[in-house]
């Protein structure tokens, strides 16, 4: 073979027809034209992949921020809807308050103050003592009785108050009060639902323009009155019909929330799906080969969003306690009330945070980074070790059938876990963690069962093709991330 002046190989003239020579010259001219175009051609440059990927990652970042914002809105809206429009949910939330010592003390003081504001025990006692002294005539050797009992009215009134306080406290600490508390809160919540939806409800709740929500203690006071009469406190007969309102909470923001309940009811159903859709969009716009990394970023955005929401709750709680006047609700009772009411929201944000963490870790382990590849390789070696302990053998029919259906089975396990999370009414962080753990255990059991069939299939392929650089069974492929 010879070389021409252009540095290209020149075919020998022997054995080449004229048509072949013409075709060869045409191909050489085409190659020269393409080389010139690549070197000096004007506006035919291919797009810069680095710049294009930069814009894709910018879109991923924007979508992840939207995912975080919508996650906060979704969790908050579902909490508000559950507490305002779901009576059973609300009653289960406030039920622990009936056994809280601070709340019990506040209710006891409220009922006692209400009773003594309705009856003048000191005045009645003084009148009774006056009647007694008038009934006993004065003699020369005995002074009037009023001199002996002078000043007893305030003492007797104080003792009466202590007696009433002790009676009320014992009643509030009993099981009957817990039942009445649930009844009162159920009636109050029914009325609150009527208020925020515009329907007419019972009068057991008061929601004023300042956002103060109160429930009726009339049933509790009636029971206390009956107990006082049973214990011989006849002054209780003068207690009129009382419908004392106990303040649950007060927030001017409640008025605004009432106006947005209808929108929240719809948003609570739409926002979670919109959040999921944006997360998938972030994965879709990511550069090819980096989509698992985008999925991991979407999961981390959920975790960061829930962290921001938790911090916001701490700040809001502090502001609420500072704004609550002590004469309306004692600080201890206010703290117990707000902590109990916000407990479902805390559980919800923990659940979403755990879900985001599971997604982020799972996407990372499936990615193409060196550390993730090492983890997968170690997992494969571990399965190989288990297989060696079980001794190499041909797979049975059951193992072969599971191996052939492995993709469908893996998809079914992941799908069942996802459905449990979607249709679980109020999943907590522990529920999400348990679902993830049981899903991983199911996948691990499947891998252990199909391992003999998988190794046997790999051995058959090796025997048929015998490539020089065939990877050992169980070793993880370095570049898994191709989606």
- CB-based contacts of 129: which residues, under 8 Å, 6+ apart? 146, 149, 152, 153
Q: Cα–Cα distance between 89 and 2 in angstroms, integer? A: 90
| 461 vs 26: which has the higher pLDDT | 26
Confidence of residue 399 (pLDDT cuts 50, 70, 90): confident
Strand 205-207 and strand 212-216: the pairing is antiparallel
Most confident region among 146-155, 223-232, 403-412 by mean pLDDT? 403-412
Q: Residue 479 pLDDT > 50, yes or no?
A: no
Confidence of residue 62 (pLDDT cuts 50, 70, 90): very high
**Cα–Cα nearest to 250, from 319, 153, 171:** 319
> Which stretch of DSSP H or E encloses residue 381?
helix 370-390
Q: Cα–Cα distance between 109 and 165 in angstroms, integer? A: 7
Q: Cα–Cα distance between 287 and 483 in angstroms, integer? A: 9
Strand 9-10 and strand 205-207: the pairing is unpaired
Q: Residue 200 pLDDT > 80, yes or no?
A: no
**Cα–Cα nearest to 204, from 223, 188, 222, 181:** 188
Q: Cα–Cα distance between 183 and 172 in angstroms, integer? A: 14
| Percent of the chain whose predicted confidence (pLDDT) is above 70 | 69
pLDDT reported for residue 5: 46
Confidence of residue 252 (pLDDT cuts 50, 70, 90): low
Confidence of residue 92 (pLDDT cuts 50, 70, 90): confident
Confidence of residue 48 (pLDDT cuts 50, 70, 90): low
Mean pLDDT on 174-203: 72
| Listed range (9-13, 53-57, 137-141, 270-274) with the worst mean pLDDT | 9-13
| 433 vs 242: which has the higher pLDDT | 433
Query: Tokens at residue 171, please?
Result: 């009643």
pLDDT reported for residue 69: 94
Mean pLDDT on 407-430: 82
Most confident region among 76-85, 316-325, 365-374, 416-425 by mean pLDDT? 316-325
Q: Cα–Cα distance between 130 and 146 in angstroms, integer? A: 7
Mean pLDDT on 179-194: 80
Confidence of residue 211 (pLDDT cuts 50, 70, 90): low
pLDDT reported for residue 126: 66
Most confident region among 166-170, 175-179, 436-440, 453-457 by mean pLDDT? 436-440
Q: Residue 148 pLDDT > 60, yes or no?
A: no
Query: Tokens at residue 136, please?
Result: 């006993």
Q: Residue 4 pLDDT > 60, yes or no?
A: no
Q: Residue 201 pLDDT > 50, yes or no?
A: no
Q: Cα–Cα distance between 380 and 385 in angstroms, integer? A: 9
**Cα–Cα nearest to 246, from 83, 94, 79:** 94
The whole-chain average pLDDT of the chain stands at: 76
Q: Cα–Cα distance between 307 and 356 in angstroms, integer? A: 11
Q: Residue 8 pLDDT > 80, yes or no?
A: no
pLDDT reported for residue 480: 47
Q: Cα–Cα distance between 424 and 432 in angstroms, integer? A: 10
Mean pLDDT on 393-405: 82
Confidence of residue 41 (pLDDT cuts 50, 70, 90): very low
Mean pLDDT on 400-414: 86
Could you tell me the pTM of the whole model? 0.61
Cβ-contact 171, 223 below 8 angstroms:
yes
CA count, 13 A, side-chain hemisphere, 147: 5
Q: Cα–Cα distance between 164 and 171 in angstroms, integer? A: 11
Q: Cα–Cα distance between 346 and 78 in angstroms, integer? A: 12
């Amino acid at each position: 073979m010879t070389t021409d002046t252009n540095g290209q190989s020149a075919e020998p003239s022997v054995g080449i027809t004229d048509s072949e020579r013409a075709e060869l010259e045409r191909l050489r001219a085409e190659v020269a034209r393409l080389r010139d175009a690549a070197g000096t051609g004007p506006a035919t440059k291919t797009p810069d992949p680095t710049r294009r990927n930069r814009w894709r990652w910018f879109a991923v970042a924007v979508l992840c921020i939207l995912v975080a914002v919508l996650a906060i809105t979704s969790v908050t809206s579902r909490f508000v809807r559950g507490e305002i429009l779901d009576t059973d949910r609300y009653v289960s939330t406030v039920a622990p308050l009936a056994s809280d010592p601070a709340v019990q003390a506040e209710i006891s003081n409220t009922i006692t103050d209400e009773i003594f504001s309705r009856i003048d025990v000191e005045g009645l006692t003084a009148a009774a003592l006056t009647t007694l002294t008038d009934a006993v005539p004065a003699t020369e050797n005995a002074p009037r009785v009023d001199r002996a009992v002078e000043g007893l009215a305030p003492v007797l009134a104080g003792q009466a108050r202590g007696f009433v306080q002790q009676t009320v406290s014992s009643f509030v600490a009993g099981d009957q009060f817990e039942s009445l508390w649930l009844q009162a809160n159920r009636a109050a919540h029914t009325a609150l639902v009527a208020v925020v939806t515009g329907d007419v409800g019972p009068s057991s709740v008061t929601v004023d323009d300042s956002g103060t929500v109160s429930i009726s203690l009339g049933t509790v006071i009636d029971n206390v009155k009956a107990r006082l009469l049973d214990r011989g406190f006849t002054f209780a007969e003068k207690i009129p019909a009382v419908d004392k309102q106990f303040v649950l909470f007060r927030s001017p923001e409640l008025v605004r929330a009432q106006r947005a309940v209808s929108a929240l009811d719809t948003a609570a159903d739409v926002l979670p799906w919109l959040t999921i859709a944006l997360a998938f969009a972030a994965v879709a716009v990511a550069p090819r080969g980096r989509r698992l990394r985008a999925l991991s970023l979407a999961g981390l955005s959920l975790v960061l969003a829930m962290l921001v929401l938790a911090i916001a709750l701490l700040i809001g709680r502090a502001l609420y306690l500072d704004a609550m006047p002590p004469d309306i609700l004692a600080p201890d009772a206010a703290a117990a009330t707000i902590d109990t009411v916000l407990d479902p929201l805390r559980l919800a944000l923990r659940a979403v945070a755990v879900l985001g963490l599971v997604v982020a870790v799972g996407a990372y382990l499936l990615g193409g980074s060196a550390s993730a590849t090492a983890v997968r390789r170690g997992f494969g070696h571990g399965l190989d070790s288990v297989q060696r302990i079980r001794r190499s053998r041909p797979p049975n029919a059951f193992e072969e059938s599971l191996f052939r259906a492995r993709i469908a089975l893996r998809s079914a396990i992941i799908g069942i876990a996802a459905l449990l999370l979607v249709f679980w009414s109020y999943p907590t962080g522990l529920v999400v963690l348990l679902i993830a753990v049981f899903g991983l255990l199911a996948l691990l059991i499947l891998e252990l069962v199909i391992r003999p069939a998988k190794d046997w299939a790999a051995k058959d392929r090796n025997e048929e093709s015998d490539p020089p650089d065939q990877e050992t069974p169980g070793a993880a492929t370095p570049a898994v991330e191709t989606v």
